[in-house]
């Protein structure tokens, strides 16, 4: 049977994994698609670089266009990263009728709708399972597994770097700075960790999940983002004492036809399985009207887990190719986007205040919550270990973001409050 | 656009859920498949029964053949249960070129290979996502999400009744008998609970998962089964004190080309997310050579969760129908089955012995382990609260099942051992 030829853009960690799986599992793969799968051509940055995988040098090129324009290549696997230039490559590949498998969350979060529209026009497949949560088949699950349901909420630990940092801080009582340094030495965090620790990477993935879950085009700018760089080891201790773990959680939430998407450090009830998702692992909780609560857990990154998703997409493309049905099952978001206002967004809050240690302060503070219609689940005042002030630890019931913002603004002007030490979203799920 | 007509066999809990979702989510569903989906005819046991769903009485029949032979019906959804008679219905429907969606794990575990062969012959789809772990799309995940990988191990909590019982016993320190009675009153356990509590239901699901994961035909008789009826509240307390939760776990394991499948009460490390899977929830851990460890969690049963999977399958059938590609993506197991011998099956064990409280007993016992090459991770001897004997609590390192069986046989003949109180598999995952 004539082999299917695949062009590879990029031969870094994930690209190497793709070659390993396609070559190592060739027998299993070809018995599923009915013909051999060959890596035909590979675009790399530097053709002379030493690699920890054997590959026929005649297949390597430093010119991506050579891969894209090779008439023998049917499918392009894009694992080079990058946004604008890469978009050009992919649009041109689609123009030439080639199918795309990509791991590029940045590209899909920013230009997904344009790329998917072009794919539909050209009746080509564009699959991107590996772009969110590495080895977890969450995109397939949202598109196919829950095609019958209406999603209410998606909650995800979708960034391994921050989950590694928060896990270490929680398990070892270490500071953010120390753990970040260690993560950088281990290669779990980049030398400039901003994209991970400030939540942008998670926000891009949540834009993709929100688009699929709610069947409407969620833009990156629709996602409100707060990272973990201000989380202290004390915050984590408070969380644990109250029965919570601190996690960087992406939340996509729908009430009727109004949606909201955010990423922020969140206190998660310890009894829920997602609170036990530690280290570089990822997990996504999907709550559907009919199916109820589900969770999907696995490696969020890494050579082979990510390549597993890419090659699974590749098999899907090749099966469609053999059946002549590429591009015909694409889901194009068909709903008009309506975003929740701050008055419509409701959740519980944890608030830690440093206040003057004198009579009447607690009463004044609880009164302000009442003024803005925020009701309280618990309030504890205790002496502060580190200085002469008192600490007040508050957990609210679900309150609107608008009202909570007003409370916090009022607090800033209140002279008995020395400092609003911490504010976190709380999820009891 | 001409509607697609669906025939329903059965209108119990799950069948009612199917009607609710197909009618309630019609707009979302039809926008995905490009035409309305109609429930055309429904076979029920008693046409006059009062139902908590409105359905046009002219669609009801007491004769399943009327549904199967209706020329206007393209897809049969089978939610009536049963094995031999139901198999006849399904084979005849396939003969007539109709596609099948079924939730029937008993049927698929016992006759899946025959049904799938007939489907392939007739180029029909047979989808059965709902047959294992209700709302969790685990079958789709094994077939498509991990098509690129080679599965090493599948571990599942796939029976909600037993998980409910063990959870209650663990959380409330209640006895097996009391919790079973409560579960029966709540409708979580049947009046004859044997199929659930003795592990047969879980075994059938594991046969299905093993077949898909290892791409070889696993028969029900290949699954070794032990239920939970002999688990005591003391056992659960011991497990907790050692950092474990007791769960009824199905395990499908592969070493090279040799597989083994079993269901038994198992002590699971508390720190792993699967240990937090409580109540009637299900979860399946899948370990792949490339993807590493993943877990899928959700409702294992219930009207709407199960119906979610059925209607997702229905959408997949209808999409294939529109593209003219039904039956062409079927995965037929292609590997020769090789079962592990007891010498090849390795795992850790928990053993609780009641022994004579005198010098030398512990030495004698540890010596017997050594004789059969079973090495020990920990041994604790303590006075028995309830009588004058001593208790010995042993955790072994991984040992072959064959050797462990020899140790236990030897113990039975040893007069210083009053009783082998409990033996459980231990999984540290």
Start-end ranges of CATH 3.30.360.10 in chain B?
Answer: 138-299
How many beta-carbon contacts under 8 Å exist across A and B? 193
pLDDT at res. B229: 97
Distances (CA, A) of A425 to A350, A391, A403, B136: 6, 19, 14, 28
Average pLDDT for residues A391-412, to the nearest whole number?
Answer: 97
CATH node for B4-134+303-323: 3.40.50.720
Containing B126, the helix (H) or strand (E) segment is strand B126-127
Distance (Å, whole) CA B202 – CA B339:
19
Q: pLDDT per residue over B216-266, tens digit each? A: 999 999 999 999 999 999 999 999 999 999 999 999 999 999 999 999 999
A135–B31 CB contact, under 8 Å = no
Written as six digits, the tokens of A376 are: 């309280």
Q: pLDDT per residue over B323-354, tens digit each? A: 999 998 777 788 999 999 999 999 999 999 99
8 A C-beta contact, residue A102 and residue A35 = no
DSSP labels, A43-111: E-S-TT---SS---GGGEES-HHHHHT-TT--EEEE-S--SHHHHHHHHHHHHTT-EEEE--HHHHHHH
First to last CA, chain A: 52
Count of CB atoms within 10 A of residue A371's CB? 12
Percentage above 70 pLDDT, chain A: 100
Percentage above 70 pLDDT, chain B: 100
User: B interface mutation test: which of A308, A313, A328 has the most B CBs within 10 A?
Assistant: A308
* A336–chain B Cβ distance below 8 A for any pair: no
* Annotated binding residue B190: yes
Tell whether the model's pLDDT for residue A341 goes beyond 80: yes
* B149–chain A Cβ distance below 8 A for any pair: yes
Q: Using DSSP bridges, classify how beta strands A223-225 and A258-269 pair: parallel, antiparallel or unpaired.
A: parallel
**Considering only CB atoms, which chain B residues are within 8 Å of A296?**
294-297
A312–B275 CB contact, under 8 Å = no
What mean pLDDT is reported for chain A?
A: 95
CATH node for A346-427: 3.30.70.260
Cβ-count burial B170-181 (b if 16+ within 10 Å, e if not): beeebebeebbe
pLDDT at res. A52: 87
What part of A 6-25 touches B (C-beta under 8 Å)?
17, 21, 25
Q: Using DSSP bridges, classify how beta strands B346-355 and B417-427 pair: parallel, antiparallel or unpaired.
A: antiparallel
Tell me the nearest-neighbour CA distance from A25 into chain B, angstroms. Answer: 7
Q: Using DSSP bridges, classify how beta strands A99-102 and A37-43 pair: parallel, antiparallel or unpaired.
A: unpaired
| Residue B136 CB-half CA count within 13 A | 31
* B299–chain A Cβ distance below 8 A for any pair: yes
Distances (CA, A) of A143 to A146, B32, B137: 6, 10, 11
Start-end ranges of CATH 3.30.70.260 in chain B?
Answer: 346-427
Q: Which chain A residue has its CA at the smallest distance from B135's CA?
A: A291
Distance (Å, whole) CA A184 – CA A331:
38
Interaxial angle between packed helices A26-33 and A303-323, expressed in degrees from 0 to 180 and rounded to the nearest 10: 30
The partner residues of A225 in beta bridges, in order of sequence, read A263
8 A C-beta contact, residue A148 and residue A290 = yes
Distance (Å, whole) CA A5 – CA A19:
13
DSSP labels, B162-176: HHHHHHHHHHH---H
Tell whether the model's pLDDT for residue B387 goes beyond 80: no
How large is the ipTM? 0.93
* B308–chain A Cβ distance below 8 A for any pair: yes
pLDDT band at A399 (very low <50, low <70, confident <90, very high): very high
**A349: helix, coil or strand?**
strand
**B94: helix, coil or strand?**
helix
Start-end ranges of CATH 3.40.50.720 in chain A?
Answer: 4-134+303-323
pLDDT at res. B101: 98
User: A interface mutation test: which of B129, B279, B298, B310 has the most A CBs within 10 A?
Assistant: B298
8 A C-beta contact, residue A132 and residue A158 = yes
Distance (Å, whole) CA B425 – CA B249:
10
Average pLDDT for residues B371-391, to the nearest whole number?
Answer: 88
pLDDT at res. A388: 76
**A306: helix, coil or strand?**
helix
B312–A276 CB contact, under 8 Å = no
CATH node for B138-299: 3.30.360.10
Average pLDDT for residues A191-205, to the nearest whole number?
Answer: 97
**Which of A31-45, A223-237, B382-396 has the least mean pLDDT?**
B382-396
Written as six digits, the tokens of B302 are: 């219930």
Average pLDDT for residues A116-138, to the nearest whole number?
Answer: 96
pLDDT at res. B388: 77
Tell me the nearest-neighbour CA distance from B284 into chain A, angstroms. Answer: 10
* B330–chain A Cβ distance below 8 A for any pair: no
């Amino acid at each position: 049977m004539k082999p299917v030829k695949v062009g590879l853009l990029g031969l870094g960690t994930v690209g190497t994994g793709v070659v390993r799986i396609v070559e190592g599992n060739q027998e299993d793969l070809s018995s599923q698609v009915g013909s051999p799968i060959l890596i035909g051509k590979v675009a790399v940055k530097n053709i002379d670089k030493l690699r920890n995988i054997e590959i026929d040098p005649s297949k390597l090129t430093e010119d991506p266009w050579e891969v894209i324009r090779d008439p023998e290549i049917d499918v392009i696997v894009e694992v080079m990263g990058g946004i604008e230039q890469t978009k050009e490559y992919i649009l041109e590949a689609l123009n030439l009728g080639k199918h795309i498998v990509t791991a590029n969350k940045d590209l899909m979060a920013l230009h997904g709708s344009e790329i998917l529209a072009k794919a539909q026009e050209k009746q080509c497949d564009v699959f991107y399972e590996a772009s969110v949560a590495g080895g977890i088949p969450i995109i397939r699950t949202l598109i196919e597994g829950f095609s019958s349901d209406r999603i209410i909420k998606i909650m995800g630990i979708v960034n391994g770097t921050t989950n590694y940092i928060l896990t270490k801080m929680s398990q070892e009582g270490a500071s953010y700075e120390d753990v970040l340094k260690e993560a950088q030495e281990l290669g779990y965090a980049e030398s400039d960790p901003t994209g991970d620790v400030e939540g942008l990477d998670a926000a891009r993935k949540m834009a993709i999940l929100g688009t699929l879950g709610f069947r409407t085009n969620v833009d990156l700018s629709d996602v409100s983002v707060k990272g973990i760089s201000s989380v202290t080891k004390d915050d984590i201790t408070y969380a644990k004492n109250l029965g919570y773990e601190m996690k960087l959680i992406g939340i996509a939430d729908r009430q009727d036809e109004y949606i909201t998407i955010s990423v922020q450090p969140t206190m998660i009830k310890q009894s829920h399985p997602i609170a036990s998702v530690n280290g570089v692992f990822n997990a996504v909780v999907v709550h559907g009207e009919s199916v109820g609560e589900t969770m999907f857990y696995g490696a969020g990154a890494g050579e082979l887990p990510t390549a597993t998703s890419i090659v699974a997409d590749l098999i899907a493309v090749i099966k469609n190719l053999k059946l002549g049905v590429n591009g015909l099952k694409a889901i194009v978001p068909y709903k008009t986007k309506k975003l929740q206002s701050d008055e419509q967004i409701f959740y519980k809050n944890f608030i830690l205040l440093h206040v003057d240690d004198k009579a009447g302060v607690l009463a004044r503070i609880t009164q302000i919550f009442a003024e803005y219609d925020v009701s309280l689940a618990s309030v504890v005042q205790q002496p502060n270990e580190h200085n002469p002030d008192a600490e007040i630890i508050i957990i609210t019931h679900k309150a609107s973001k608008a009202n909570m913002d007003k409370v916090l603004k009022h607090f800033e002007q209140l002279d008995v409050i020395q400092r609003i030490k911490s504010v976190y979203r709380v999820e009891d799920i």
